[in-house]
Structure 1
């Protein structure tokens, strides 16, 4: 039992020993402790979805359609067969025996109600393009 403390002395000495630096050898380097960089304040990136005003179609015979909102178009042509909403853009499709009329509505100003800016028309039977103004006249109530 008396020998146990004596046997522990070399083990304790090995844990606490610090060897003397050798002459001519570089001094031991301490590990560099670096603190975390300061938090970065990030500015939001410029919006890639900045508002762009749409180009408005200006063809004779479409004056009664271009510039109208969804409600006004439904009053002219009746309820649309198809109404697609994607963000602030709308597509309304009106169908008759003679033709299919697609009306695209975009806001003219930021956060404004979308209004008709473009019209496309095709025959109902085979999908070939037809005169837009003639299709508008054929579909009016």
Structure 2
């Protein structure tokens, strides 16, 4: 009887492990142009133009505030900072980390999305926020 119980418990544990790994993976979303709704977005990831990104990459917090105004969020992390700027067209998250030269925090990465969460082209978002 003890052997049957241990086999039954082992079977249930293996079944539970198998069910957890069978979850379907969520597909990656493609960026949506700022002027089109998400339902008509292209399925392939569009290439970001670097014009808008050049305006923010490597810049410090003061420069970003002069460009976009006060950030919606200012999150200080252990080794860096996240600033969030928003407008009608998009939300931009700028990640600033020490540059290694003099320790000043500069933008090393940006993410962009619409208010409904749909991904947008980062350079277009920067350009849209600068135009407001």
TM class, shorter-chain normalised? 0.5 to 0.7
- Structure 2 segments unaligned to the other structure (5+ residues): 1-47
1:132 to 122, 125, 130: 122
1:22-43 CA-partner distances (Å, limit 9, x unpaired): xxxxxxxxxxxxxxxxxxxxxx
Which position in structure 1 is the counterpart of 2:83? 92
Moved over 4 A (4+): none
Match of 1:68, SS?
A: coil
1:113-134 CA-partner distances (Å, limit 9, x unpaired): 110000100012x111000000
Which position in structure 1 is the counterpart of 2:61? 70
More helix by share: 2
Aligned mates of 2:75, 2:101 — CA distance in 1? 20
Which position in structure 2 is the counterpart of 1:22? none
Cα offset for 1:59? 6.2
For normalisation by structure 1, the TM-score amounts to 0.55
CA contact (8 A) 1:88 1:114 kept: no
- Structure 1 segments unaligned to the other structure (5+ residues): 1-57
Aligned mates of 1:76, 1:108 — CA distance in 2? 20
Task: Choose 1 or 2 for highest CA Rg.
Answer: 1
Larger RCO: 1 or 2 (CA < 8 Å, sep 6+): 2
For normalisation by structure 2, the TM-score amounts to 0.59
